[in-house]
Amino acid sequence: MTKAQSLWNQGVKIGAIGGVSVLIISLIGMVESFGKRDIIAGVLPMGVAIALIISILAAYMAAKKTPISDKSIQFANAVVSGLVISGFLAAFVMIGRSFNIREMLVGASPVLYSILTGGVAGAGGIFLLLLTGLLCGAFAGILYMLRDLPRRLTVNALLTIFILGLLQELILPILKAWDVGMINYLAGLFYTLNGLTPVGAILSVVIFCILYLLWNANQGAIKSKYAALPKEARKKSQIAALIVLAVILIVLPQFLGLFLSEVITIVGLYVLLGLGLNIVVGYAGLLDLGYVAFFAIGSYVVALLTSPQIFAFGLNFWQALPIAVICGILAGVMLGIPVLKMRGDYLAIATLGFGEIIRILVLSDFLRPWLGGAQGIGSIPNPNLFGFQMVKPQHIYYLLLAGIILVIFISLRLKKSKIGRAWMAMREDEDVAQAMGINLVATKLLAFATGAGFSALSGAIFASKIGSVYPHSFNVFISINVVCIVIIGGIGSLPGIVVGAAVLMGLPELLREFAEYRMFVYGVALVIVMLLRPEGLLPEARHKMEFHDETEAGAKTVA
């Protein structure tokens, strides 16, 4: 390979990767189905925005990976990779328009071609596509050459538009709920019913830039001022922050409509599940892929005890709840005993099987007289608190909030306790943990039991929330979702789980188009997180240290 070739190697290579990526998301229909939702109304559909983001990212990488630090070459490399990406797409559009490839590739529709060529027919569209690629590359190249502050400012401003546009369905109803003239006016100024208005987009960039620059100029002063505060004052400000957070959490459902409250209760259920699995996976290091089993057990116990169908025990939710949790704990121990000797992958597979066994048992005709079979169990009454019927999702929200706070409290206490230390040692090295005098059997069973209890609690609330339970609500994807939440949020980190649940469960509910690509997006998200941020979005301090200890240790020795 000559030197001249190797200079352009990265641009072409990364361009090709980017091109294939955009092609894939186009062909699986993401660009088309996301094309219906606008980030900026009438200007930028979301599908196009995603394709642009990938292109710019690829071109930026190409500039970054250029072997020599000559600015013009770096810029040129970015442009080359942008052109390669659009070249891929242009070739695809031309082939698709001349031959019928739809028989093989269902996603290759005329609508997609029209989106990719900006709605311009014929050669003009192809030209426009190539020009867009060129501009993406040039933009990325300029971005790479900018100094740190303007670069961060540009990237974050663009992200702000993207996120504001994306979360329209979240933000708009909240604003409308106030029904105050001023806010209504603002809502109308910023949002149409489909995406930001162009004025709104420009305004949000301006507002964001001002805030960002203000923060940037003053953050050092604010931080040092905070650090200079006496310890008591700092503690006071932390308590104040906690109180503000508590107030927000308490009044939140009043501002959310029915739909958003529903979304937030789903997130809440998964936060509970995530907190439970975090004990098993995060604290004790036991990879449990059958976690849905305990969720199912909690649900079915509440269903059997409170529903008038099948047995008609006639208990109310509060009487059934502790029984459900106890059953979950017992099931946790029952699962734990046979898998005591298993580690790592073997444990994961065995627990995966356990999860399926429970679902299939519930589904079976054999147990139909007792568990309802495929028809499930219905007419589960809503929880009743001192005569107050918890019907709406807003009411369930408070129930979940109480449960989550309780579970967070227990998790924090356990972590600092002797049991928490035993889990930590076991996670690191079972043999040595035993050599330290840790009873592996008891410690493992306790982890399974605690996690299972939390999961059953979530299941119990789930059953009374939706009023009926069916076997198919408890498939393996729930376990996978929870594992993803724990890993993407940051293993062992409680705030990470809340963020993970909000991102992985909340976003797909808000972006209905996503639902179809949920597993695809999870897969991509997992790979990206593992590559770029293996400790998770909001990692526990310890794991942060673990993944970045080289630099820190280095810094320490220098100091």
Partner 1 sequence: MAMLELRNVHAHYGKIHALKDISITVNKGEIVTLIGGNGAGKSTTLKTISGTLKPSAGQIFLDGEDLGAYPAHEIVTKGIVQVPEGRRVFGQLTVLENLDLGAFTSKDKKRDAGTIEKIFHMFPRLAERSKQLAGTLSGGEQQMLAMGRALMAAPKILLLDEPSMGLAPVLVDSVFDTIKALHAEGTTILLVEQNARMALKTASRGYVIQTGKVILEDDAKKLLENEMVKKAYMGD
Least distance CB 325 / partner 1 (angstroms): 29
d(CA 196, CA 207): 15
Among 341, 428, 519, 530, binds partner 1 (CB under 8 A): 428
Taking the complex as a whole, the smallest distance from the CB of residue 543 to partner 1 amounts, in Å, to 8
For partner 1, the binding residue among 9, 309, 434, 468 (CB under 8 A) is 434
CB of 438 to partner 1, least distance (A): 6
Q: Which is nearer to partner 1, 348 or 422 (CB)?
A: 422
> Quick one: which segment of 23-31, 216-224, 434-442, 457-465 binds partner 1 (CB under 8 A)?
434-442
Structure-token pair, residue 511 = 């972006």
Q: How far is the CB of 546 from partner 1 (least distance, A)?
A: 5
Site membership for partner 1, residue 429 (CB under 8 A)? yes
**What is the DSSP secondary-structure string of 42-84?**
TTEEHHHHHHHHHHHHHHHHHHHH-SS--HHHHHHHHHHHHHH
The angle subtended at Cα 188 by Cα 183 and Cα 190, nearest 5°, is 95
Q: Which residues pair with 469 in a beta bridge?
A: 377
Q: Which of 495, 492, 482, 493 is nearest to 522 (CA)?
A: 482
Selected from 435, 524, 527, 528, the binder of partner 1 by CB under 8 A is 435
State how far the Cα of 63 lies from the Cα of 227, in Å rounded to an integer: 39
Residue 377: strand, helix, or coil: strand
Shortest spacing between CB 446 and partner 1, in angstroms? 14
Report the alpha-carbon angle 240-246-247, nearest 5. 90
Candidates 67-75, 427-435, 458-466, 499-507; binding stretch for partner 1 (CB under 8 A): 427-435
Q: Which of residues 490-549 bind partner 1 (CB under 8 A)?
A: 542, 545-546, 549
Question: What's the distance, Cα to Cα, between the start and end of the chain in Å?
Answer: 44
**Least distance in angstroms from the C-beta of 300 to partner 1:** 36
Cβ burial, residue 227 (10 Å; 0-12/13-18/19+): exposed
Classify residue 315 as exposed, middle or buried by CB count within 10 Å of its CB (0-12, 13-18, 19+).
middle
Comparison of 224 and 557: residue with beta carbon closer to partner 1:
557
Query: Among residues 95, 326, 432, 524, which is the contact residue for partner 1, using CB under 8 A?
Result: 432
The mark string for 387-426 relative to partner 1 (x by CB under 8 A, - otherwise) is: -------------------------------x--xx-xx-
State which residue, 430 or 513, has the beta carbon closest to partner 1: 430
Residues 44-83 that bind partner 1 (CB under 8 A): none
CB of 244 vs partner 1, minimal distance in Å: 32
Quick one: which of 439, 477, 524, 528 contacts partner 1 (CB under 8 A)?
Answer: 439
CA distance 429 to 201: 53
CA-based R_g, the chain, Å: 27
User: Quick one: 70 or 549, whose CB is closer to partner 1?
Assistant: 549
Q: What angle do CA 473, 478, 479 make, to 5 degrees?
A: 135
Closest residue by Cα to residue 395 from 306, 481, 317, 508: 317
Figure out which of the listed residues 4, 437, 531, 558 binds partner 1, where binding follows CB under 8 A. Answer: 437
CB-nearer residue toward partner 1: 70 or 429: 429
C-beta of 64 vs 421, nearer to partner 1? 421
Q: Which is nearer to partner 1, 240 or 545 (CB)?
A: 545
Q: State which of residues 3, 147, 231, 556 lies at the interface with partner 1 (CB under 8 A).
A: 556
Q: Look-up: residue for tokens 């009454």? A: 381
Among positions 145-184, residues that touch partner 1 (CB under 8 A) are none
Residue the block writes with tokens 């139909």: 368
In the bound state with partner 1, the residue whose beta carbon lies nearer, of 179 and 431, is 431
Q: How far is the CB of 429 from partner 1 (least distance, A)?
A: 6
Query: Can you tell me the distance from the alpha carbon of 423 to that of 346, in angstroms, rounded to the nearest whole number?
Result: 19
Residue 196: CB atoms within 10 A of its CB come to 26
Shortest spacing between CB 477 and partner 1, in angstroms: 31
Choose between 321 and 438: whose C-beta lies nearer to partner 1: 438
Burial of residue 175 (CB within 10 Å: 0-12, 13-18, 19+) is middle
The two structure tokens encoding residue 267: 């997130």
Residue ranges binding partner 1 (CB under 8 A): 418, 421-422, 424-425, 428-429, 431-440, 542, 545-546, 549-550, 553, 556
